[in-house]
């Protein structure tokens, strides 16, 4: 309606003014017209100034009305003109890109009609819109999901793609059309973009070629009744026996207050469930599901929310990922400066666990050490490692009550490099010779830890401070601190634990660090950071500021058969081993695709000192779900040291096993296994509501336009006006706009009406 009114008054649609440039083509030389304008306007002012019998107000109003009318007439003589560039018929290509991802198979448009069917009905070869476009342009069709591929017609689309990557699709279409005159690109999609590419980079390249993108939105912007699993936070690789938490973010539409069940299946077997009450519509809630202990192997996990009556769509009620449970044992180096109970009880807690092994180095006297858990007589025979190669064999290190001057300056720097360069985990325990009290202030180790030693050094010979330890909100959600079968049981257990003691002046938390446990002195009001961690370089550093967690095993309030202490330390040590890199790492980008889609295999290669290697020979081995092995050579990526990439095309649905082998000099190193999931469930259905803001942005940044599918016919007029391809310039007169004539009539009519009202006519 507004567009029709605009065209009526201003002769042309608004989009013509957006595309065009204003200029003037005067009927006479400009100086003559300006002189005439000055004379006429001066005459009007002079005549009305001589009418002294009229009040000043009347003279001003009448002069203003007549002067404005004269100015409009003079403006018309300047002949305002709109210069617009338009495509030459049959000399340009118009690309039509249709979304062929699985989200286009959703039936949210009523009458059990899919989004893809609705789009095909408008853009099929036989439709009136396409026939009219074919008279003006050479049409090139593309289907896109993870990338763009040319197709002969829209009838071949089936909505099989599992990802939508609009940025990569636009880039692929631009490259395919390079060297041809392109009038514009029409993108028909629901905007459920989850490919990970930067759309802005693709838009920059299109703007450089002045190619406009016209986006057509398909689907509902907001589902009336729906729950959707939008995101799932789950580990990809865990040590056997680890406490696995699956955190699912669930978006709610129109079903607030109802109850549903979130289940997790491993290869079709239910291994965890959680009942939740849905929040108010429009909110997002989290469902945290604990998994049963899984035997070593690779599992396809399905996170599913129970379907409720009346849901708009059902496809977004589930999410798929892969979990690998690896075998142990994995070794952690524990360095302790004195034979204290904390050391003995921790070893006792871990001893029965076949997946964990503590390699202990206990100083028994000056220059003498007790070695426990070593593989042979030479391991740690000289005490703490003096070379990076020896130290970096361990994925995690625990520092007990051990003063800083026990280490050389190079060993302290090695500990810092162990975290930042090797990517290991360093945990520092409280004790009379730990932290600032142990002289670590100002050392390389202090720079790594999540606390600054800003508090005054405590008198370690004095009495210890008794604190009651409680998890923070982040701690309650952390897998290492789950002490019960569910959240309420875990919270109850934490409240029942007796106090522990602190002998260190724990400092301030560094920006970016996360506090998991706090402790409040039984006689004070201030909370101390007891357990905190932070990312530092490639690894993680943490502090556990108490000196006697063994009291949770031996305190009089703790039952003899209570395994809280054992459970805590086994989970803590497994958490320390999570995400620690090996010399060779293999991943797939993205980690979830559909059958027939390409993936990038990415390997990171380091030497024994964990320095990046750029001249290795790296080969990836992909084992398909049917058991067939495919070798993929990987080439060094010039963009990043130590990184090698290659392309692989998935053909089967299921879980693929990945490995990589690096040959460098005389050394041959093999990676730990990785995984890749190829399924046709569709990753882009998880956030499948029509994303109008994204589509508007694409259109606006390329000087195109956005249309709902119902208004797609307006493309016919809009695509004509373009600066891209083979174009011609057109001049559109603006002096004869209906609004100008209407303004003259209004001005002259207003003057006559005013005269009659004032009795002057």
Residue 581 is predicted with a pLDDT of 94
Q: Where exactly are the structural domains of the chain?
A: 2-85+730-758, 89-221+689-725, 226-322, 330-577, 584-679
- The confidence score (pLDDT) of residue 745 equals 83
What is the mean pLDDT of the segment spanning 562-575?
93
- At residue 102 the predicted structure's pLDDT band, cuts being 50, 70 and 90, is confident
For residues 119 and 154, what is the distance between their CA atoms, to the nearest angstrom? 9
pLDDT of residue 683: 67
Residue 229's nearest CA partner among 289, 186, 139, 148 is 289
Under the banding of pLDDT at 50, 70 and 90, the label for residue 565 is very high
Burial 481-518 (b: 16+ CB within 10 A, else e): bbbeeeeeebeebbeebebbebbbbbbebeeebbbbbb
pLDDT-derived band at 59, boundaries 50, 70, 90:
confident
CA dihedral 548, 549, 554, 559 (to 10 degrees): 160
pLDDT at 23: 78
Helices (H), 385-462: 388-391, 409-420, 444-448
Which range has highest mean pLDDT (152-161, 382-391, 588-597, 726-735)? 382-391
Q: Who has greater pLDDT, 33 or 532?
A: 532
The position carrying tokens 């029509």 is 690
Q: Which two tokens stand for residue 387?
A: 């070379």
pLDDT given at position 591: 85
- Give the chain's mean pLDDT: 87
State the pLDDT at residue 89.
81
Give yes or no for a contact between 487 and 476, defined as CB atoms under 8 angstroms apart: yes
What's the token pair of residue 314?
């059902």
Domain 584-679, classified CATH 3.40.630.30, yes or no: no
Percent of the chain scored above 90 by pLDDT? 47
Fold of 330-577: Rossmann fold (3.40.50)
Find the radius of gyration of the CA atoms of the chain: 36
pTM over 0.85: no
166-176 vs 199-208: helix axis angle to the nearest 10?
30
Comparing 584 with 523, which gets the higher pLDDT? 584
Alpha helices, DSSP H, located in 56-142: 56-77, 115-123, 128-136
Side-chain-facing half-sphere of 553: CA atoms under 13 Å: 17
pLDDT at position 68: 81
What CATH architecture is 226-322?
Sandwich (2.60)
Q: Is the per-residue pLDDT at 10 higher than 90?
A: no
268-301 pLDDT, tens per residue?
A: 999 999 999 988 777 888 899 999 889 999 999 9
pLDDT of residue 336: 94
Task: Tell me which of 194 and 105 has the higher pLDDT.
Answer: 105
Express each pLDDT in 678-724 by its tens digit: 887 766 787 888 999 999 999 999 988 999 999 998 888 888 878 77
**pLDDT score of 530:** 94
pLDDT tens-digit map of 657-673: 999 999 998 889 999 99
> Same CATH topology for 226-322 and 330-577?
no
Residue 639 — pLDDT band, cuts 50, 70, 90?
A: confident
Give residue 52's pLDDT band: very low, low, confident or very high (50, 70, 90). low
Is a pLDDT exceeding 70 seen at residue 51?
A: no
pLDDT single digits (tens) 326-378: 998 999 999 999 889 999 999 999 999 999 999 999 998 888 889 999 999 88
Extended strands (E) in 368-479: 368-372, 396-399, 425-429, 451-452, 465-471
397-431 pLDDT, tens digit each? 999 999 999 999 999 999 999 999 999 999 999 99
pLDDT in tens, 601-626: 999 999 999 999 999 999 999 999 99
Q: Residue 716: is the preceding peptide bond cis (ω within 30°)?
A: no
The residue-averaged pLDDT of 208-213 equals: 90
Burial code of 744-756, b = ≥16 C-beta within 10 A, e = fewer? eeebeebbeeeee
CATH of domain 89-221+689-725: 3.40.50.410
Lowest mean pLDDT among 84-93, 321-330, 433-442, 454-463: 454-463
């Amino acid at each position: 309606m507004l567009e029709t009114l605009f065209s009526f008054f201003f002769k042309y649609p608004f989009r013509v003014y957006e595309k065009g440039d204003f200029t003037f083509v005067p009927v006479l030389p400009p100086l003559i017209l300006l002189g005439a304008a000055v004379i006429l306007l001066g005459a009007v002012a002079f005549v009305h100034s001589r009418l002294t019998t009229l009040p000043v107000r009347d003279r001003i109003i009448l002069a203003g009305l007549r002067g404005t009318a004269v100015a409009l007439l003079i403006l018309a003589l300047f002949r305002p003109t709109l210069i617009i560039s338009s495509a030459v018929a049959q000399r340009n290509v118009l690309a039509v890109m249709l979304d062929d991802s699985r989200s286009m198979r959703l039936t949210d448009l009523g009458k059990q009609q899919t989004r893809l069917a609705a789009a095909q009905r408008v853009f099929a070869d036989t439709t009136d819109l396409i026939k009219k476009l074919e008279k003006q342009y050479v049409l090139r069709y593309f289907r896109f999901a993870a990338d763009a591929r040319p197709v002969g017609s829209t009838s071949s689309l089936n909505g099989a793609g599992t990802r939508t990557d609009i940025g990569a699709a636009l880039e692929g279409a631009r490259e395919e059309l390079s060297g041809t005159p392109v009038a514009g690109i029409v993108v028909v999609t629901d905007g459920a973009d989850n490919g990970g590419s930067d759309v802005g980079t693709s838009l920059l390249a299109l703007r450089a070629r002045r190619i406009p993108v016209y986006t057509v939105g398909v689907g509902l912007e907001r589902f009336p009744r729906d729950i959707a699993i939008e995101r799932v936070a789950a580990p990809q690789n865990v040590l056997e026996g680890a406490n696995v938490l699956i955190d699912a973010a669930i978006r709610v539409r129109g079903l607030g207050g109802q109850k549903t069940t979130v289940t997790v299946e491993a290869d079709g077997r239910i291994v965890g469930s959680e009942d939740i009450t849905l929040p108010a519509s429009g909110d997002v809630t989290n469902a945290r599901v604990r998994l049963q202990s899984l035997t070593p192997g690779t599992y396809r996990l399905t996170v599913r929310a129970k379907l409720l009556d009346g849901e708009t769509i059902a496809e977004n009620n589930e999410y798929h990922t892969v979990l690998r449970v690896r075998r142990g044992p994995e070794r952690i180096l524990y360095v302790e400066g004195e034979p204290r109970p904390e050391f003995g009880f921790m070893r006792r807690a871990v001893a029965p666990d076949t997946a964990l092994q503590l390699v202990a180095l206990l100083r028994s006297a000056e220059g003498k050490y007790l070695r426990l858990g070593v593989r042979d007589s030479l391991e740690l025979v000289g005490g703490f490692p003096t070379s990076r190669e020896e130290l970096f064999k361990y994925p995690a290190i625990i520092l007990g009550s051990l003063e800083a001057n026990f280490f050389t300056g190079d060993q302290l720097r090695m500990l810092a490099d162990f975290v930042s360069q090797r990517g290991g985990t360093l945990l520092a325990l409280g004790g009379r010779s730990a932290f600032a009290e142990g002289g670590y202030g100002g050392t390389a180790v202090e720079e790594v830890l999540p606390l600054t030693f800003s508090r005054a050094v405590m008198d370690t010979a004095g009495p210890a401070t008794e604190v009651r330890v409680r998890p923070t909100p982040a701690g309650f959600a952390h897998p290492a601190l789950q002490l019960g079968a569910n959240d309420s049981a875990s919270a109850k257990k934490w409240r029942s634990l007796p106090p522990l003691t602190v002998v260190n002046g724990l400092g301030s938390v560094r920006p970016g660090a996360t506090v998991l446990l706090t402790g409040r002195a039984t006689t004070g009001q201030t909370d101390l950071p007891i357990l905190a961690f932070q990312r530092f370089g490639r690894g993680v550093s943490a502090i556990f500021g108490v000196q006697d967690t063994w009291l949770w095993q031996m305190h009089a309030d703790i039952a003899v058969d209570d395994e809280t202490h054992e459970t805590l330390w086994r989970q803590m040590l497994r958490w320390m081993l999570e995400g620690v890199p090996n010399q060779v790492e293999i991943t797939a980008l993205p980690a979830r695709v559909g059958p027939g889609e390409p993936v990038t295999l990415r390997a990171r290669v380091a030497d024994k000192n964990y320095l990046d290697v750029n001249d290795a020979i790296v080969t990836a081995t992909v084992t398909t779900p049917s058991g067939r092995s495919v070798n993929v050579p990987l080439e060094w990526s010039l963009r990043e040291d130590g990184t090698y990439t290659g392309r692989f095309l998935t053909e089967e649905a299921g879980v693929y096993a990945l490995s990589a082998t690096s040959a460098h000099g005389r050394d041959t190193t093999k990676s730990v296994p990785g995984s890749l999931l190829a399924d046709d469930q569709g990753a882009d259905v998880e956030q499948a509501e029509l994303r109008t803001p994204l589509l508007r942005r694409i259109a606006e940044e390329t000087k195109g336009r956005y249309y709902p599918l119902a208004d797609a016919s307006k493309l016919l007029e809009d695509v004509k006006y373009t600066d891209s391809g083979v174009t011609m310039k057109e001049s559109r007169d603006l002096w004869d706009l209906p609004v100008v004539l209407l303004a003259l009539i209004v001005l002259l009519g207003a003057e006559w009406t005013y005269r009659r009202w004032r009795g002057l006519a």
